[in-house]
Amino acid sequence: MISQPLQLCRPILAFSSTLAASLLLTGCGGDDSSAAPIVIEGPSVTTSEGAFATSQSTARFLTQATFGPVPSQISGLTGTSASSWFAQQLAMEPTLVEPEFEAYIALSEEAAQESDELSFAAPSFVFWKHAIEAPDQLRLRMAFALSQILVVSDAGGEILSDVPESMVGYQDILRNHAFGNYRDLLEAITYNPAMGEWLTYMGNQKADETGRVPDENYARELLQLFTVGIVELQPNGEPRLQNGQPVELYNNQDVTGLARVFTGLDIAGLDRSVFPSLVDAVGEVDDLGENFLRPMTFNDALHSEREKTFLNCSIPAGTRTLDSITQALDCIMAHPNVGPFVSRQLIQRFTTSAPSPAYVERVAAAFDAGRFLLPDGRQVGTGRKGDLPPTLAAILFDAEAQVDAALNNAQFGKIREPVLRFTNWARAFDVDASKPEYALELTDTSNPSALSQHPHRARSVFNFYRPGYTAPGTQSGALGMTVPELQIVNATSTTGYINFMTFWTFGGLDMLDPGEIEEELSELNIPFDRAEVARAWRPDYTAEIAVADNAAALLDRLDRNLLYGTLSSEARAAIERAVNQIPLDDEDDEDARALRASLAVFLIMTSPDYLVQR
Amino acid sequence: MTHSPSVSRRNAIRMLGAGAVAGTALSGAPGVFTSHAADTFDYRALVCVFLFGGMDSHDVLIPFQQAEYDGWRSIRRSFVARQGASRDRGALLPLARVSRPPEEPPQHALAPELASIKALYDAGDAAVIANVGPLVEPVTRQAFEAGVARVPPRLFSHNDQQNIWQAGAPEGAQFGWGGLFADAVLAAGGNSFRPQFTTITTEEVGPFLTGRTASPYRIGIDGAAQVNILEEFADQTDPAFVSAVRDQLAGRSFMGENVIERDIAAKFGSGLDSNDFYGQALASGMPSFGGFGAGPLSAQLRAVANTIAVRGRLSASRQVFFVGLGGFDTHSAQAVDLPNLLRELDSATAAFHSAMASLGLSRQVTLFTASDFGRTLAVNGDGTDHGWGSHHFAIGGAVRGGEIYGEVPPSIIGHDQEVGGGRLIPSLAVDQYAAQLGRWFGLAPSEIGTALPNLGRFTSPDWQFI
């Protein structure tokens, strides 16, 4: 592998709209991108718009669209054009995982002893670093959202964790296509070896005389989870009813028919006569990792020649592998369910858990038309069904999601995903995340005693939570609201989150003895620099400490930066009371001031006001 | 491997109210447990072991007569070979049946990974219930193929069939039969002192444990989850400060209108309260059980055993537990993966049974398995695909063990009890399976009918496994 220098991608701090484009483009460089061209046409009106009209609305919009607002960004963008910001984000080169991953491999190889930890955990390390520091925030948020619809996970502990390139390649596909087209994205993931391994169609073969039949796994989940769902939908995402009942779209014969399409694909460069099982190739085949970064290859001799019938589509007998896949994806993509099905789930990842049918319909219309007009009049999209930039724009700029409408709607909002709560903290307090390998707490946050969520590590293809989850025994459930994230809120995970955030908000790595950190890193053969260890993964509360003698001023600041001004008066009073119980012996009592700041951040980030993004 | 998040090294915290008396109070948690009429003599618990992904019972209960075994092996030859000697006929564990004459040769055998369950079966403490699955009404193959049969929606889909097993409806289902059984207990005044400990899970449970009153309490495998910062503060600071922090974490100050915020505030509050109480109950002392391995199901069942050991302190006389083991979706590598899972199922359930025996509760606690669905008899190379009916286990001293209940369809493709590829049409509805458990749990027929509204569509079998 080629060694590349580690790239440092600090968030862009203060920038004005005019400077933004040039600054942003000098941020973290990308690899060659296969992303579809993004077309933005029409007049660009650089006036203040609703989304960035006030610091409150700016902070809120950035909460929805990024991994968390950076305080200087809130002040820098307030009064500028949100459309311009959106367009600039679209234009940025993607920050990719692979170069950074290869730098980790090089680092591991240069170390005195090769570090398994560095390579196996590298996909996670790179995710955290980029989420917190990369400039192309909108793209990475979209990729993260897509990773929860088109789920591939390394939770299983086999190939997808033993060969870290698998998750590297998959993450980069999502990033490269995040501003592309959903149909192209489906094609890319279909040929991706990580998906092939995850949904078990890598090496899948046509039926034969031994009674062998094609594996149905990908066919089923491609329909059920990635494209059309299970029942017929109206354009607004609600089920179409017949005699009061939802209409199922397909049965197992359709799945069996579609399963024939996904036969004949296999990872490149693997001699199956030597390695019938991929597990045996791990550690034996040198370029196995490299081949996980490439599309799978095909073998027509192993591809089903039979007719493939599903979803009112029919692919004639004798059609070969590549043509079969192209026709199948085209046919599925043409189904009217795809727009509302995908749009509703994307809305849930960005703005609200239980969107109104009208909101879903508007977003699905942008998805279907491949076009959306930004508030300043510019058009996003190429006009092709499935274009993702107009879909995302329609989600973020919809009237229902705007600050005044949303804050007055008691059913609007979503539980902040645990991963996003953590990145929000890191970005709000200028945490140095450039060395994620120093923060071993972040190698796995999926346990309920941590975040109950870890990037690209859902327990199954059904993600961390289901889009249709309505929580029994709750007020939202009684109203029939879908609230996916409530599925991972329970007596263990609530305490787990409180404890996890205690560690970070009260100091992060500052909470640990530096000698202990260095000892652990040495044991794992992770190279480190003592000065960097002393700097990494700590919050910078300087500005908070400066006002910590005045609890009201401290909370004003945190309210603006973490809560876009929505801290309730009751929570404010309760937190002020707690903060004021920490005595300040004299005005220079820095430790007590720091403790006040930490406590206030901690209590805000564990409050219902914060836990739900409205 | 990872740092343990703890506030202990944060010197600054020590400054808090220096010299304050060691804190006593976590507000809301009673300092003394009130003794209560939870009658442990009459204690009963159901333990659902959910095998996530769809267990291939074709590879668990295997035909043992030579001709039938040969036919099974031929259909599965592409991966039986990879299973090595473990699927040789001589390695299987043949099951005699107490209802049959001893000289009658066994028709079926267990996979050899299930040696402990086989021993419990032989001892009369475990039974096999054949071909269970979701049904709306009895179904024939002809009716299914003609499209005139009423069948459960969304067959063969994981999440939906998990929900249907647990709650009789596809994803979005609200009330599961475990929760509705618990409702009946609560409505009768059972567990009234601490109702939240009626339904307990160690896993992300679907709707199974949710009733109109009951809702699941999630426990960790290492005891009650404790809030580190409160523990830390409690030793060093003014109790009033600790209370203020705890009240804020429990959402006590929250008065907002937003529905989702209200829900999450309630979850934080009830979670903290229950954890405090549960933690104190566990701390009061419990036996340490031997025999549990390190596997994920073992750890969960050990946590359940620990909880049952302190049932009196939780004031619980009837409890429904949920534990889960994932990985059964063996589309590929079944030859390697399934035997490992079965070993874990075997060792965990046997250790649990021993733990219950050591508490003198083996007749008062019944464990049973459930799963998304069975799988195809046909193979896709090195795995199997989604099916429908499957065979299950009930384990406990109250189980009428040593018997295979119901009908085991033949292990061939194309018979009348399958719908293609060896996907079995269930011959026993989940409702019927659940009803026998509910009757043993102490529910009246009307209460069972409330929990299992579809039960009336089926004729009761002429046997009861418990």
Confidence tier at A116 by pLDDT (50, 70, 90): confident
Confidence tier at A129 by pLDDT (50, 70, 90): very high
Res B361: pLDDT? 96
Share of chain A above pLDDT 70, in %: 93
Among A residues 562-591, those touching chain B with beta carbons less than 8 Å apart? 568, 570-571, 573-575, 577-578, 581-583, 591
Distance (Å, whole) CA A396 – CA A123: 28
Of A583, A607, A612, the CB nearest to B248: A607
pLDDT tens readout for residues B415-432: 999 999 999 999 999 999
Taking the CA atoms of residue A381, residue A384, residue A389 and residue A393 in that order, the dihedral angle to the nearest 10 degrees is: 80
| Beta pairing, strands A265-266 & B93-94 | unpaired
Q: From B160, which residue of chain A is nearest by alpha-carbon distance?
A: A230
Give the count of beta carbons closer than 10 Å to the beta carbon of residue B149.
Answer: 18
Taking alpha carbons only, the member of B325, B416, B350 closest to residue B131 is B416
Q: How many helices and strands (H and E) does chain A possess?
A: 31, 11
| Beta pairing, strands A265-266 & A245-246 | unpaired
A469 pLDDT exceeds 50?
yes
Distance (Å, whole) CA B270 – CA B291: 33
Quote the tokens at residue A65: 């669209």
pLDDT tens readout for residues B305-324: 999 999 999 999 999 999 99
Confidence tier at B237 by pLDDT (50, 70, 90): confident
Res B74: pLDDT? 95
Section B120-128 average pLDDT:
98
Res A39: pLDDT? 76
A304 pLDDT exceeds 70?
yes
- How far is the alpha carbon of B76 from chain A, nearest alpha carbon, in Å? 8
Taking alpha carbons only, the member of B236, B196, B1 closest to residue A491 is B196
Average pLDDT, chain B: 89
A472 pLDDT exceeds 90?
no
B29 pLDDT exceeds 50?
no
Average pLDDT, chain A: 91
Kindly list the residues from chain B whose CB atom is less than 8 angstroms away from the CB atom of residue A594.
12
pLDDT tens readout for residues B208-219: 999 989 999 999
- How far is the alpha carbon of A25 from chain B, nearest alpha carbon, in Å? 37
B246 pLDDT exceeds 60?
yes
Confidence tier at B81 by pLDDT (50, 70, 90): confident
Res A41: pLDDT? 76
Res B36: pLDDT? 29
Confidence tier at A117 by pLDDT (50, 70, 90): confident
Res A115: pLDDT? 80
pLDDT tens readout for residues A234-250: 999 999 999 999 999 99
Section A595-612 average pLDDT:
97
A45 pLDDT exceeds 70?
no
Section A140-148 average pLDDT:
98
pLDDT tens readout for residues B130-142: 999 999 999 999 9
Res B193: pLDDT? 87
Among the listed ranges A8-17, A348-357, A410-419, A547-556, which one has the minimum average pLDDT value? Answer: A8-17
Considering only residues B274 and A15, tell me which one the structure prediction assigns the higher pLDDT: B274
Res A47: pLDDT? 53
The reply to whether residue A492 touches residue B220, judged by beta carbons under 8 angstroms, is yes
pLDDT tens readout for residues A153-162: 999 778 999 9
A425 pLDDT exceeds 70?
yes
pLDDT tens readout for residues B333-378: 999 999 999 999 999 999 999 999 999 999 999 999 999 999 999 9
Q: Are B305 and B31 in contact (CB under 8 A)?
A: no
- Is the minimum CB–CB distance between A487 and chain B shorter than 8 Å? yes
Considering only residues B212 and B4, tell me which one the structure prediction assigns the higher pLDDT: B212
The reply to whether residue A607 touches residue B326, judged by beta carbons under 8 angstroms, is no
A290 pLDDT exceeds 50?
yes
At residue A132's C-alpha, the angle toward residues A151 and A469, to 5°, is: 35
pLDDT tens readout for residues B250-288: 999 899 999 999 999 999 999 999 999 999 999 987 678
Confidence tier at A587 by pLDDT (50, 70, 90): low
Among the listed ranges A47-51, A102-106, A299-303, which one has the minimum average pLDDT value? Answer: A47-51
Distances (CA, A) of B151 to A221, B10, B137, B144, B156: 21, 60, 7, 8, 12
| Beta pairing, strands B44-51 & B318-325 | parallel
- How far is the alpha carbon of B77 from chain A, nearest alpha carbon, in Å? 8
Sheet of B61-63, strands arranged across? B61-63, B108-110, B93-94
The answer to ipTM > 0.85 is yes
Q: Are B428 and B417 in contact (CB under 8 A)?
A: no
Section A11-15 average pLDDT:
30
Confidence tier at B232 by pLDDT (50, 70, 90): confident
Kindly list the residues from chain B whose CB atom is less than 8 angstroms away from the CB atom of residue A503.
3, 5-7
- Is the minimum CB–CB distance between A519 and chain B shorter than 8 Å? no
Section B160-176 average pLDDT:
90
- Is the minimum CB–CB distance between B458 and chain A shorter than 8 Å? no
The reply to whether residue B332 touches residue A413, judged by beta carbons under 8 angstroms, is no
The structure tokens 């391994």 sit at A197
- How far is the alpha carbon of A140 from chain B, nearest alpha carbon, in Å? 26
Section A182-198 average pLDDT:
98
Res A43: pLDDT? 63
Distance (Å, whole) CA A265 – CA A259: 12
